[in-house]
Structure 1
Amino acid sequence: MREAASRREPDAIAWPPTWPRVLDAEFGSPSAGEYRATPEDFQVAEVLDFVPEGEGEHLWLHIEKRDLTTAMAVRDLARLCEVSPRDVGYSGMKDRVAVTRQWLSVQLPGREAPTGLHDALAERGIRVLAEARHPRKLKRGVHRANRFRLRLTGAALEDPELEARWARLGEEGVANYFGPQRFGPDGRNLLRARSLLARGWRKRDDRDGMLLSAARSFLFNELLAERVHEGSWNRLLAGEVAILDGTASQFSVEAPDAELDGRAARLDLHPSGILWGVGESVAKEAALDLEHRLPDRYPALCAGLEHAEVRLARRSLRLRLGEPSLTRDENALWLAFSLPRGAFATAVLRELIAHPTL
């Protein structure tokens, strides 16, 4: 185990990062564009693989919210139902500057929802689309995917190769970077995480784990950037841990062969990268050598995460776009696609447009 983060100098982190785009090598840097001038320009719908059973002590609400974070909606629902926010469940966190659809649950054993709940939520910008009872609370991370519909404007729309870029992403996938929102404005969440891990993480300083997540996400993006630089982000290396597309299933690859390379080319499976934490990586050989560069470059972050007893995990280095489409109107371009939970639409957009937040 590496020496404790408190005995190390905090790692130097340059912000903003210069994580490489995949398509720049072929098409050059993208032109400037805008993607979120209004909430209506960024539409997200959460996709569940199941529906509420129709009875139980939890009331599930399918909502559409505008210009509100999920945390804001949770607090509003808890206040109106006179319960603790802990009694409100949700699967995924959604952006604020957007129009988003998702399910929330609220525990109301033996009682009905307050009279006028729908109208009161509507006054806060939350529209109830459907409701049903269910025996259990909605848990984090149970949705299968998110469906996006995004409006782009700006000089990038005049780029004659924009549609070729989009087609290439549909054919070859997208580098699965964590989006800038994970790190906070100007990377402040990451800088706070670096300071906290250097002196020793305590839950009371990071109750929801946001700072731990920022640190792990940064290290993953650094590893992915290295794989993009060397051209291996979308192919299997010796000792790779492959992840089956659309699932959490993983298996080790001692040496890629023609069959596995073909499945990777068809986006049936993807190489993976480490989410740093306690435990031994099952990667070997070339894939493990790349992972071992992280504690050499960021010893305080890696040791701090281990000291916080975060469990090692893995994440796909590549995303498949689900049902991608592109349409144009007079002044804008609309993209539609789905991504698995935990993936960021901004990872897609940064391959198509140049924007200060991407």
Structure 2
Amino acid sequence: MIKEPEDFIVEELPLYEPAQTGTHTFFAIRKRNLSTLAAINRIARDLQIRSQQFGYAGLKDKNAVTTQVLSVEGVLPARVLRIEHPDIEVLWAERHPHKLRAGHLRGNRFQITLRDIPHDALPRIESTMQRLATEGVPNRFGAQRFGNKNDSHLIGKAFVKADWEAVVRYMLPDDALQVDDTARRLQRELAKKSPEKAVLCIPHRLRKLFLSAYQAFLFNRVLEMRTPCFGTLLDGDIAIKHENGAPFLVTEATVEQPRADAFEISPSGPIFGYKMRLPTGDVLALETSLLSDDGVRFEAFRKVVGIRLPGTRRPLRMLMQLHAVSAVDDQGVCLSFTLPAGGYATVVLEELFAENIL
């Protein structure tokens, strides 16, 4: 369906503009066929600095053409603007007082071209997209959140359970050709340290990604258990106000449901952590049963391999702003829409093709 990176175009929508003063430089890049972290590593090598000096609001797809803002500390805008790379274009650079943090974006606008789709499918595609825009899209995490081998959440789970041997098994592939720098470093550490201490050589950012993948996996399981009624409130829910993200306890679902029907609020699911607001009643029982099934204690999320996991609540559905559905070329359809921060366009496509529109 999607044949070239140019068929999947993403534009990040910033939450705020740089202040044009400060020790950090905000800069926008357009990258092609590169993940966000790979782009940061290449820019870091060009600037001869550590990748930890960079900040980003969100991780963007690799197999796409994406525009996003990054930040870097201690590098002047003029130096950033001199970066040249075949797959990375620097669009602008301005100073700002603070590092760009994850989640500091309004959302993302997508333009996706689906190839080899007959034009007579256009009315069905448009109808489904209109329905998703009205009813909301399941706010699950996309498959890319779980890594190329679909095991990032399993590594995260092993970290949370302090199952260091399992972490080592996942990190050290059987195929010697697949051993990367992190695996080689881990092998060296294991020769002189216990698994518990050796796994600390895994970069902090990677450990954090594994843990967030496990949190995402648990959220997806809750969402699956509440589908197809993910817009229906239950007594004991923690609802989220879409206007400002504020959570509140639902004591009488029938009273609040009209607000959910108007898409002012939505039920939420857990991003487990020690500060996460807990639901009550049957909703709490459902969510905590997942931890019991995995043999994980809620308290385990307080601090894992040096990383604190405060947790939060995530709406079970997201509002999609549909801009256009149009025919392109001989056999193709172009979809243009905007999703809020944290939303996955691949989930929209999964929902679209679940309707058997072809």
Q: Report the TM-score, using the length of structure 2 for normalisation.
A: 0.79
With a CA cutoff of 8 Å and minimum separation of 6, indicate the structure with the bigger relative contact order: 1
Say if 1:175 and 1:157 are closer, same or farther in 2 by CA, change over 3 A: farther
Q: 1:266 to 1:248 in 2, by over 3 A?
A: same
Structure 2 equivalent of residue 348 of structure 1: 348
Identity over aligned residues, as a percent? 32
How far apart in 2 are the matches of 1:224 and 1:282? 16
Cα displacement (A) at 1:173: 0.3
Letter in 1 for 2:332: A
* CA distance in structure 2 between the partners assigned to 1:170 and 1:156 by the alignment: 23
Query: What are the Cα deviations for residues 100-152 of structure 1, in whole angstroms up to 9, with x where unaligned?
Result: 1111222236x5633xx54642x331112222222222222211111111111
Asked if the contact 1:170–1:324 (Cα under 8 Å) also holds between the matched residues in 2, the reply is no
The match for 2:279 is 283
Q: CA deviation at 1:351?
A: 0.6
Go from structure 1 to structure 2 and tell me whether the alpha carbon gap of 1:292 and 1:56 turns closer, same or farther (over 3 Å shift): closer
In structure 2, stretches of 5+ residues that fail to align are 165-198
Q: Which residue identity is paired with 2:235? A: A
- Secondary structure class of the residue paired with 2:152: helix
Give distance in 1, aligned partners of 2:259 and 2:217: 29
Q: Decide whether aligned partners of structure 1 residues 306 and 107 sit closer, same or farther in structure 2, where only a CA change above 3 A counts.
A: closer
Deviations 1:292-332 (A, max 9, x none): 32123222486754562522321110100024421112321
> Is 1:63 matched up with 2:29?
yes
Within 5 Å, give how 1:50-199 maps onto structure 2: 50-108=16-74, 113-114=78-79, 118=81, 120-121=83-84, 123-155=85-117, 158-159=120-121, 161-199=124-162
In the alignment, the residues of structure 2 paired with residue 156 and residue 296 of structure 1 have an alpha-carbon distance, to the nearest angstrom, of 48
1:69 & 1:61 partners in 2: Cα distance?
17
Q: Where does residue 190 of structure 2 map in the other structure?
A: none
Kindly state the Cα deviation for residue 162 of structure 1 after the two structures are TM-superposed.
2.5
Which structure dedicates a bigger proportion of its chain to helix?
Answer: 2
In 2, the alpha carbon distance for the partners of 1:195 and 1:156 equals: 46
Task: Identify the residue that residue 4 of structure 1 maps to in structure 2.
Answer: none
| Structure 2 SS opposite 1:124 | coil
Equivalent pair of 2:29/2:88 in contact (CA under 8 Å): yes
- Code of the aligned partner of 1:238: D
Query: CA offset at residue 333 of structure 1?
Result: 1.0
1:281 shift after superposition: 4.6
TM-score by length of 1: 0.79
User: What amino acid maps onto 2:273 in structure 1?
Assistant: G
State the alpha-carbon separation in 1 of the partners of residues 203 and 46 from structure 2: 27
Give yes or no for contact 1:212–1:305 (8 Å, CA) kept in 2: no
Q: Is 1:296 aligned to residue 292 of structure 2?
A: yes
Aligned length: 314
Cα contact 1:62–1:102 (8 A) shared by 2: yes
Q: Are 1:294 and 1:302, in contact at CA under 8 Å, matched by a contact in 2?
A: no
User: For 1:234-253, what aligned pairs fall within 5 Å after superposition?
Assistant: 234-253=231-250
CA distance in 2, matches of 1:213, 1:185: 15
Determine the C-alpha separation between the residues in 2 that align with 1:184 and 1:156: 32
Taking the TM superposition and a 5 Å limit, the aligned residue runs for 1:299-338 are 299-300=295-296, 305=301, 308=304, 310-329=309-328, 330-338=330-338
Given residue 335 of structure 1, which amino acid in structure 2 is its aligned partner?
L
One-letter amino acid matched to 1:193:
G
Pair 280,183 (structure 1): closer, same or farther in 2 beyond 3 Å: closer
Residue in 2 aligned with 1:26?
none
Unaligned residue ranges in structure 1 (runs of 5+): 1-33
